[in-house]
Amino acid sequence: MERASVQTEAIILAGALSGGFVTGLAGFGTGLTALGFWLHVVEPVVAAALVVICSVVGQLQSLFSLRRAVAWQRAWPFLAGGLAGVPLGVAALRVLDIETFKLLLGVLLVGYTGLMLGLRRLPSVPAWGGRLADGLVGAGGGALGGIAGLSGPLPTLWCGLRGWSADIQRGVYQPYNLGILCVVLGLYAGQGLLTGQIWELAALCLPATVLGSWLGMGLYRRVSDWQFRYLVLWLLLAAGLVPTLSSL
């Protein structure tokens, strides 16, 4: 095997391990973490497909560990709204400038999370809007997923504002994210994007993803609900900084 191939595989494995770790720790973030590695060695379309495949596996693994915390009575409005929102986002691709959209979304994420991190006490709206508000947030996340693969930030932020415990938050937004990711994976398959090269790279990535998720879940069990809320905000701040800085 040539040196370049060894280096490429090492970078792919590092991205899979770190992406799995963040997903195990926070319940999201495979793409946020792994793309920083993978985009240096593979084409964006390959990296995007790998993110979806590894995200599905990481979500399934961590959700199995949290299966007793999954609250379908809370999760279904998000999921129903999200599934309705995905095709709207895909349709919006025809009229939106994606790079400008990502920049605006990044600025909003940075502004919001920066404000929350600057407050002495995090606000909560435990019952405002009920299931209708949850469904609308899910639809917004689904639309963002269809536009730019960013289904996670809105429901994650909203679950934090609900003031739920860490397990309850993950028991809501992880089934939501998994459902949206499965839809996206199905769309990729239908469009013929899941090539033999992608499956070969996925076979390389998945053991590292599983190991990383297992390590992340181990650390997750050691953090308090308060620490978890701040951890999520910091990760979402990073998610906003990436498109913002890359567009400048």
Please state whether the predicted TM-score (pTM) of the whole model is above 0.75: yes
pLDDT score of 25 more than 80: yes
pLDDT score of 9 more than 90: no
pLDDT for 191-223, tens place per residue?
A: 887 888 889 999 999 999 999 999 999 999 898
pLDDT score of 138 more than 90: yes
- Read out DSSP for 125-180? -SSTTHHHHHHHHHHHHHHHHHHHS--SHHHHHHHHHTT--HHHHHHHHHHHHHHH
pLDDT for 29-55, tens place per residue?
A: 887 788 778 888 888 778 888 888 998
CA dihedral 198, 201, 203, 207 (to 10 degrees): -130
| Choice between 105 and 11, residue whose per-residue pLDDT is larger | 11
pLDDT score of 179 more than 80: yes
**Residue 33: how many CA atoms within 13 Å on its side-chain side?**
26
Q: What was the pLDDT predicted at 124?
A: 79
- What band does 1 get if pLDDT is binned at 50, 70 and 90? very low
pLDDT score of 146 more than 70: yes
Tokens of 202: 């996925």
Q: Which of 116-130, 156-170, 224-238 has the lowest mean pLDDT?
A: 116-130
Q: Which of 102-106, 119-123, 173-177, 227-231 has the lowest mean pLDDT?
A: 119-123
Q: What was the pLDDT predicted at 148?
A: 61
Mean pLDDT value of segment 109-113: 84
- What band does 3 get if pLDDT is binned at 50, 70 and 90? very low
**What residue segments make up the domains of the chain, in order of their start?**
3-247
Q: What was the pLDDT predicted at 37?
A: 85
Tokens of 26: 């926070």
The Cα–Cα gap between 102 and 222 comes to: 34
Cα-trace Rg, the chain: 17
Q: What was the pLDDT predicted at 2?
A: 42
pLDDT score of 155 more than 80: yes
